[in-house]
Structure 1
Amino acid sequence: MFRRSWRHVATAAAALLAAASLVACSDDSADSQDLSENRVGAMENYAIGSQFKATEPVSFSVLYNNHPNYPLKNDWLFWSELKSRTNVTLEPVAVPLSDYNQKRSLLIGAGDAPLLIPKTYPPDVHAYVSSGAILPVSDYLDLMPNLKDKIEKWNLKPEMDTLRQQDGKFYLLPGLHEKPWHDYSLAVRTDILEELNLAVPKTWDELYTVLKAMKAAYPDVYPFSDRWSQPNPAGNLLNLLAVSYGLEGAGWNFQHVSWNAGTQKFEYTGATEQYKQLLQYLNKLVAEKLLDPESFTQTDDAARQKLANSKSFVIGANAQAVVNDYRPDLAATNPKAKIAKIPLPIGPAGEINPASRLENGMMISSKARDSKNFVAMMQFVDWLWYSDAGQEFARWGVEGTTFVKDAAGKATLAADVDMIGLNPGAPKHLQKDFGFANGVFAYGGKPELVQAFFSPEEQEFQQVMNARTPKSPPPPFPLSDEEREQVSLWETPLKDHVYQATLQFALGQRDFGQWDAYVNELKSKNMDAYLDTVNKAYERYRDEHN
């Protein structure tokens, strides 16, 4: 709901070992450090299930990602209720959503960053580690019982290990999900399926069969015309196919390397046999006029217009696009049309859920470690972002004011409060008027919390996806500063060439007989050196920390 997330998922390790190794991989634990001068305001017996409340009033600065859909208000109930419950006043340093990453970098570089720096994606952390500007938060997990508990109970150690730097520590407190939730897929005109007596396609091969039948019935139509192709050509479609073929990501989530569990090595994603196969699939759709060739470059508006005018029947989708874009578009042109998001088609990788259980998260300024309130701050962060009560508060607000609970404990919005159209016409809005369900504070948690504002239709979609096996994350391969600087010089030319060749192969402008030549072109752009660096970093980390 609040993000298109950085995505890696994991198989589980034993819960007890997870907690032990999290501490073991760090240089120190909080227990082994002298924090006697940093406990002002901290609770003596803070634990899982405790309501955190500082023993005296404290305040912490926070970088605030000011979203245009619900601009910051100082009189939000969120602020006053948070202070009442925790004795903490947050001092937001507001930055427009459009400038957030740039402003964050400037503030950290100048030494002026707030103590709490949320809305940070894992790859963004790399730039700040060597400067010492942010805290190695893995050293202080003993101060965060709710976070440790969720890592253990939800078997999140493999995912957490992907955050580790070369020193074995991690510098980001990520949002944690008990279950992965995958949003992006395809939307299909279900009235056309019914007209042609076709079942909802469950696999990419079945989608091909459905598109063939649609083309036979409507020869002047490209059955599939896609969106989300700018600035990355076929950004969403390529990523969906990549994860379905067992790769880490492509298109708008292009990942240079993918893990080969058989060889125990990383391979260059754009040069793998799987990538070739997914391009051959796309090429077949284009060659048979089942996929609109403009799908790779057209604007979203152009794709939506084709769907609305029945010039196409299939399009990339997420939950909000179906409700906010496609159904209103079709209602204006074809009121009898019906469209729905289908579960992600299954590919050669099998029935997997490719979504991550980690979300963007929190960096903490290294200045915080010297604060007399440091322990209280870590307890507060643990309560608001990781406790069940804190997560419910951040998302739902105040019982009796913004939401109510039934006898079984199920929460629903108060009748006079709206959120994404659940109470249309209600005079108040959960985000705009109260500050709850705010992407700075509300992310992660149990499925019933994360999916609280999902429609019944979307919850059914998630049930199908949650029944699938979570995709295992690749092992960590933290690079040194020198290695990171070197590979950054190789990445853009490599990615640009993959994008260019992807279009050529998919559109039939280049024959697959030239695949080996294409791979050699990648080698001329330092692909082998890139892979050598990554695999050596993986082996180094494996040998030092396992």
Structure 2
Amino acid sequence: MLHRSWRRAATAAVAALLAATSIAACSDDPSDAKDLSENRAGAMADYGIGKQFKASEPVSFSILYNNHPNYPLRDDWLFWKELKSRANVTLTPVAVPLSDYEQKRSLLIGAGDAPLIIPKTYPAQEDAYVSSGAILPVSDYLDLMPNLQDKISKWNLKSEIDQRRQEDGKFYLLPGLHEKPWQDYSVAIRTDILDELNLAVPKTWDELYTVLKAMKAKYPDVYPFSDRWSKPNPAGNLLNILAVSYGLQGAGWNFQHTSWDANAKKFVYTGATEQYKQMLQYLNKLVSEKLLDPESFTQTDEQARQKLANGKSFVISANAQAVVNDYRPDLAKTNPKAKISKIPLPIGPAGEINPASRLENGVMISSKARESKNFVAMMQFIDWLWYSDAGQEFAKWGVEGTTFVRDAAGKPKLAPDVNVIGLNPKAPKHLQKDFGFYNGVFAYGGKPELVQGFFAPEEQEFQKVLNARPPVAVPPPHPLNDEEREQASLWETPLKDAVYQATLQFALGQRDFSQWDAYVAELKGKNMDAYLTMVNKAYDRYQKDHG
């Protein structure tokens, strides 16, 4: 941390205190106004930031456990043993296969049989359980969670947290928190072709167009860009990363019906905006000039990979794993001299932004937990394991001297006899399978150095570039009530289908842009205006009720 004068440090401390206070103040019914005297069995009297949680008596909590096929649940994991030793906590997993997790979670909650702790819940998935009272309004109990409050304050996450609030002003999901956004998806480029043509790595979408033009001039029989990830959503990744580069909330596989217009201070329909039109005009330009393979919108991943491997394309959507696990091995078989790398997300009209969310999947709490004599201890424990620096390091890296060691700078690194994601490929033990650490139920979020601890050096460089960009502005809260949510669900599918169909038609040149107004009129015919009125009414109502 940079050295500061005492005056600046004091100012920062006051600001942090005020921010933390404002977070707690958002709760309609904070827990210090409740009587929790009967619910403190096992709790620490002096629990706080930087303190190891250890229950004052042995406690046990049931937890819904997402059983991942890559590291099936084992009773003899060091994770469980160490949790008992460090925290005096025994977790009783109710194991559900990964493939059935969401359905089983819904059934258990609906029947009133859910375990007390319900992790692996993604933002907005909690919405379905709010009105029944089956899950706890966790925002009422933030004063029991000092590490969570500290990170929300220090990392300026209040606007992201506020976006998760329901109509009553409360939130019901304890999300995984990232200090910095983690944007993984971009495009990968054959860098040996760039070198051959004496071209720099493109930094913007316009520069990418120029690169594709040069590739086409040199290799006229090639579609320079042939894309993957088009099933089930056509051009799922490409449309999404383009949309956010144009200042929209998302498209493709992350299609968002509404985007926030900060100037007009209202929500607009994403698929009807001028930015969406400009994005499609960009894609149409690539297709019409034969720079983007029209089959990109319909082909399978395997077909896209084959084209790349056989020199029929040079550019493709990518994330870190796809480059290492798919593209390089594919190319090694067909063209050992070929080189390919994921490039930093190209910059578009919205300027330099990091579009990834800083909130990840998180934890719901069954409302039954509130009646438990160990309720306070449970909230303290959750705060330690999921939100303290020490708890996050433990969940990811495990036990020093057994699963990891520290380098000269004090940073953790895998013990030489332990492997994970191919970092020590010949090691006899596996961090996830044999020890239960780096488990998606418990390990996510945190500081960049923790999140990126297992990243290859090139991926760390990629993240360094993206982390230097400011996070994308978060739209304000606009929670729908139950009746509105039901109505929205009836309108959203026809609207989304219409947008998807027109997106393909405009991008592929099957529909001329002189038809844009007619397309918008079609969306209006599918209740677009009524949908927007409802969303903006929800925004106005929330502003009036909660500020």
Provide the TM-score with structure 1 as the length reference.
0.97
1:288-327 equivalence runs, <5 A:
288-327=289-328
Residue of structure 2 equivalent to 1:526: 527
Separation in 2 of the partners of 1:29 and 1:212? 60
Task: Percent identity, please.
Answer: 83
Separation in 2 of the partners of 1:314 and 1:103? 40
Residue of structure 2 equivalent to 1:40: 41
Native 8 Å contact 1:18 1:156 kept in 2: no
Counterpart amino acid of residue 405 in structure 1: R
Separation in 2 of the partners of 1:432 and 1:219? 49
Deviation at 1:21, TM superposition (A): 2.4
Separation in 2 of the partners of 1:327 and 1:540? 52
Separation in 2 of the partners of 1:419 and 1:97? 20
Paired residues in the alignment total 534
Residue of structure 2 equivalent to 1:239: 240
Q: Which runs of 5+ in 2 are unaligned?
A: 1-13
Separation in 2 of the partners of 1:94 and 1:50? 30
Q: Indicate the SS of the match to 2:37.
A: coil
Separation in 1 of the partners of 2:308 and 2:157? 41
1:128-207 equivalence runs, <5 A:
128-207=129-208
Native 8 Å contact 1:67 1:97 kept in 2: yes
Separation in 1 of the partners of 2:337 and 2:407? 37
- 1:410-436 per-position Cα deviation (integer Å, ceiling 9, x unaligned): 111000111111112111111111110
Change (3 A) 1:15 1:271: farther
1:265-414 equivalence runs, <5 A:
265-414=266-415
Residue of structure 2 equivalent to 1:224: 225
Separation in 2 of the partners of 1:421 and 1:276? 43
Counterpart amino acid of residue 346 in structure 2: P
The reply on whether 1:210 has 2:206 as its aligned counterpart is no
- 1:94-128 per-position Cα deviation (integer Å, ceiling 9, x unaligned): 11111111111011001111101111111111100
Q: Which runs of 4+ in 1 moved over 3 A?
A: 13-17
Native 8 Å contact 1:93 1:114 kept in 2: yes
Separation in 1 of the partners of 2:27 and 2:142? 10
Separation in 2 of the partners of 1:162 and 1:405? 38
Greater RCO (CA < 8 Å, at least 6 residues apart): 1
Residue of structure 2 equivalent to 1:122: 123
Counterpart amino acid of residue 507 in structure 1: L
Separation in 1 of the partners of 2:452 and 2:30? 34
Separation in 1 of the partners of 2:515 and 2:77? 60
Native 8 Å contact 1:15 1:155 kept in 2: no
Separation in 1 of the partners of 2:491 and 2:524? 11
The reply on whether 1:480 has 2:481 as its aligned counterpart is yes
Q: Indicate the SS of the match to 1:470.
A: coil
Q: Indicate the SS of the match to 1:469.
A: coil
Q: Indicate the SS of the match to 1:536.
A: helix
Separation in 2 of the partners of 1:516 and 1:384? 53
Residue of structure 2 equivalent to 1:3: none
Residue of structure 2 equivalent to 1:23: 24
Native 8 Å contact 1:14 1:155 kept in 2: no
| TM-align CA RMSD | 0.9
Residue of structure 1 equivalent to 2:57: 56
Q: Indicate the SS of the match to 1:95.
A: strand
Q: Indicate the SS of the match to 1:133.
A: coil
Native 8 Å contact 1:191 1:338 kept in 2: yes
Residue of structure 1 equivalent to 2:11: none
Counterpart amino acid of residue 113 in structure 1: A
Deviation at 1:71, TM superposition (A): 1.1
Residue of structure 1 equivalent to 2:98: 97
- 1:475-526 per-position Cα deviation (integer Å, ceiling 9, x unaligned): 0001111111111100000001000000000000000000000000000000
Change (3 A) 1:538 1:14: farther
Separation in 2 of the partners of 1:326 and 1:382? 40
Q: Which moved more, 1:23-32 or 1:371-380?
A: 23-32
Counterpart amino acid of residue 97 in structure 1: L
Q: Indicate the SS of the match to 2:66.
A: strand
- 1:156-188 per-position Cα deviation (integer Å, ceiling 9, x unaligned): 100100010000000000000111110000000
Residue of structure 1 equivalent to 2:501: 500
Counterpart amino acid of residue 123 in structure 2: P
- 1:355-378 per-position Cα deviation (integer Å, ceiling 9, x unaligned): 111101000000000000000000
Separation in 2 of the partners of 1:534 and 1:210? 41
Separation in 2 of the partners of 1:544 and 1:109? 30
Counterpart amino acid of residue 145 in structure 2: M
Separation in 2 of the partners of 1:188 and 1:14? 44
Deviation at 1:234, TM superposition (A): 0.4
Q: Indicate the SS of the match to 1:315.
A: strand
Change (3 A) 1:532 1:101: same
Change (3 A) 1:274 1:14: farther
Deviation at 1:14, TM superposition (A): 5.5
Change (3 A) 1:460 1:387: same
Counterpart amino acid of residue 115 in structure 2: P
Residue of structure 2 equivalent to 1:468: 469
Deviation at 1:309, TM superposition (A): 0.6
Q: Indicate the SS of the match to 1:353.
A: coil
- 1:224-256 per-position Cα deviation (integer Å, ceiling 9, x unaligned): 000000000100000000000000000000000
Deviation at 1:269, TM superposition (A): 0.2
Native 8 Å contact 1:391 1:445 kept in 2: yes
Q: Indicate the SS of the match to 1:381.
A: helix
Counterpart amino acid of residue 180 in structure 2: K
Separation in 2 of the partners of 1:447 and 1:316? 24
The reply on whether 1:249 has 2:250 as its aligned counterpart is yes
Deviation at 1:20, TM superposition (A): 2.3
Residue of structure 2 equivalent to 1:82: 83
Residue of structure 2 equivalent to 1:448: 449
Q: Indicate the SS of the match to 1:60.
A: strand
The reply on whether 1:438 has 2:477 as its aligned counterpart is no
Q: Indicate the SS of the match to 1:523.
A: helix
Separation in 2 of the partners of 1:304 and 1:113? 43
Counterpart amino acid of residue 222 in structure 1: Y
- 1:51-82 per-position Cα deviation (integer Å, ceiling 9, x unaligned): 10111111111111111111111111111111
Q: Which moved more, 1:64-73 or 1:123-132?
A: 64-73
